Every structure is written in structure tokens, then in C-alpha cells.
Chains A and B, each alone.
Chain A
Amino acid sequence: MNRHLRMSATLAAALSLAACSYQQSLRHPKLPPLVPIDLTMDCRQIDLALDRADTVRWLIRDDGGKLETSGHRAARYAGNAIVIPISLISYFPTYIPDGGHTVLNAADGRIRELLQLKRDRGCSPRATALPGLDDLALLVELEGVQAQLDGDRGQESELLERRTTLLDGLRVVPPLGASSH
């Protein structure tokens, strides 16, 4: 019992430290999945929506957001089961946050849906920051990774890392100062 408590406490402390690298510079909005009205977008609007969703995702990543594995999530829940009651008793309410997983996962999901809509509409692909890969080719890879994640196949941490790498390179962004506003 003591050993379990010590392990949970150590894990909670480690997770707290890991979560310190995620600091919101401004509140991160949680992007919603596509709704029926979104399905009426034309190609230009889809690309614009992709730019917006990708920017939200970039903000989360730039502020240190990361995806967490199911193992990390379970450890965080266990840690919170200890941390929250203790913090409430000591009049300093706190908890172990998810390191941006929820908002990042939502952004990833919306981008994937937008790319699928773009493919279904037959829109022209755009270049990505990944060599030899346009955004529709990136979608094919992304869907492969997601299928493995959904089917519990492969190493979850590696798959999440692959998904993150792919989406980090989705867009070629012109350097600041190259425009007129």
C-alpha cells in the first residue's frame, strides 16, 4: 500500500513537472468537430478553415502542448485522485493538468476532418513543409496513423509522435514581415 502511494506521488510529481512546460500564453480555444454547415464550404473556404485550425494548433504547440498516451492519462487521473483532495484540505486547490492534450487533440481532429472534406470536394492540394508531401498525401499518412491508434495497434507513443510530426509540417507559413499589414 505504502509502495503504491509512493509510486503515485512520484508519478504525480513527475507529471506536474512535465505539465510545467505547457503554459498558455493566451487561452487556447477548443476547436469543435465539423458541423453540417461546414460541409457546404468551397475549396477556398476549406483552405481558410485549415489555416485557422492550423494556427490554433500551432499556438498550442508553441506554448508547449503535447498529446498524452492512455498510460499517461491513467497516471494523471491516479495522481489527481491524491493531489486534489490534499490540495483542497490545504486550502490551495490545484490539480495535474493534461499538458494541452484536450485542445491539441481537438485541433488535430478538426484538421483531419477538413483535409478529408478537401479531398472529397476534389480541391487542389497545397504544399506542406514536409519534403515530397502535399497536404492530401499527408492526409493519407495521417489516416493510416489514426487507424492504428483507433485499432490499438502499434506503440501508442510513437504513433502520437508521428501524428504530431505530420501535422506540425502541414503548412508552409511565409515569414513575418513579408506582407503589407
Chain B
Amino acid sequence: MRFRRDIRCTLAALLWLVTGCTTNSYAPSSDAATRELKIKAGDEIRVITTRRERLTLEVTDVRGDRFIGVTAKPHPKELRPAGQTVEVPFDELAVLEVTRFEKGGAALATAAVLVTVSAFAVVLGTVPVLPPGP
């Protein structure tokens, strides 16, 4: 009994982790819109600049008008090698993609999955199974 409860807790924790990671892409229309994304040091972001340069960087500092970071392992079509220090001024930023863990979304998605699975379990558990015929 305790073993089953442990499995359920582990599954719930896994679900919470898996469903909490969301990747969002933005096309901020102004510096203020960029600041509202609340990118902070430590975030890994992918950007496209208005000079049509693709970059993946780990943000090390966010100044009033630019991101400063270090390039990460390049994705396809990215030209800069990993480990370069780069500055991305907000007014050159056209597209920004960030992957984040969102606690609220994770909790909601996990609860939805657990409720659905539990409902199925209850329904299946109460459906009478006919004994095999003669």
C-alpha cells in the first residue's frame, strides 16, 4: 500500500517537473516590452537580432537597454561559437525565446492530469466485470 503511494507521489512530482517547463517566443515591440519579459541573469535565451543574427546565450547581466551574456552551444544556423561574450541592445532585438519553469502552470497541469487519471481509475474500478460465460 505504501509502495503504491510512493509511486503516485513520484509520478506526480515527475508530472509537475515535465509540465512546468514552457518555451515561449516573443517579438517585443519596444524596450519597455522587452523589460516586461523579466529576463534575468542565469536565463538561457535564443534571440534573433534585426541584423538577422541568431544567438543562444546565457544571460549574465541585464542593463537598462541591453542583455549581456555568453554564447551557449550553437543551434543550427547560429554562427558564433560557444563561450563568446555578447551584448544584445534591446533596440536590435526582434525575436526572443525563453524556456522557463512555471510553478503555477505546472501545478495546474499536474492537477488536471491527476484528476483525469483518478476519474478513469474510479470509473474502471466500479465497472462490473462480467464473469466468462459457460
Measuring CB to CB, which residues of chain A are less than 8 angstroms from any residue of chain B?
A: 25-29, 31, 38, 48-49, 51-56, 58-59, 62, 173-174, 176, 179, 181
B52 touches A (CB below 8 Å): yes
B97 contacts A26, C-beta separation under 8 Å = yes
Contact yes or no, B27 A56, CB < 8 A: yes
Q: Is the CB of A26 within 8 A of B89?
A: no
A58→B50 CA distance, assembly (Å): 10
Cβ of A181 and Cβ of B95 under 8 Å apart? no
Contact across chains for A181 and B27 when beta carbons are under 8 A apart: no
Q: Judge whether B54 and A25 touch: CB under 8 Å.
A: yes
Contact of B27 among A29, A48, A179 (CB under 8 A): A29
In the complex with contacts A174-B51, A176-B52, A52-B29 CB distance below 8 A: yes
B88 at the interface (CB under 8 A from A): yes
Complex Cα gap A56–B25 (Å): 11
Q: List 20 A-B contacts (CB under 8 A).
A: A25-B76, A25-B77, A26-B46, A26-B75, A29-B26, A29-B95, A49-B29, A51-B50, A52-B27, A53-B27, A55-B49, A56-B48, A56-B94, A59-B48, A59-B94, A59-B95, A173-B51, A176-B79, A179-B51, A181-B86
Which of A25, A27, A59 is in CB contact (< 8 Å) with B23?
A: A27
Cβ distance B100 to chain A, nearest Cβ, rounded Å: 13
Closest to B79 in A: A176
Judge whether B53 is part of the interface by a CB distance below 8 angstroms: yes
Chain B residues touching A, range = 20 to 34
User: Is residue B43 contacting chain A, with contact meaning CB distance below 8 A?
Assistant: no
- Give the residues in chain A near B91, CB-CB below 8 Å: 48
A53 to B28 Cα, complex, angstroms: 10
Report whether B94 and A55 are in contact in the complex, using a CB–CB cutoff of 8 Å: yes
> What separation, in Å, do the CA atoms of A160 and B87 have in the docked complex?
38
Q: Kindly state the separation between the CA atoms of A59 and B77 in the bound complex, as whole angstroms.
A: 11
Query: Which of A28, A31, A48, A55 neighbours the largest number of chain B CB atoms within 10 Å of its CB?
Result: A55
**Looking at the complex, which one of B25, B52, B86, B87 makes contact with A26 (CB distance below 8 Å)?**
B25
* Contact A58:B52 (CB < 8 A) given known A27-B23, A29-B25: yes
Contacting pair B50 A52 (CB below 8 A): yes
CA distance in complex: A62, B49 (Å): 14
From residue A162, how far is it (CB to closest CB) to chain B in Å?
23
Q: Which of B34-49 contact A (CB under 8 A)?
A: 46, 48-49
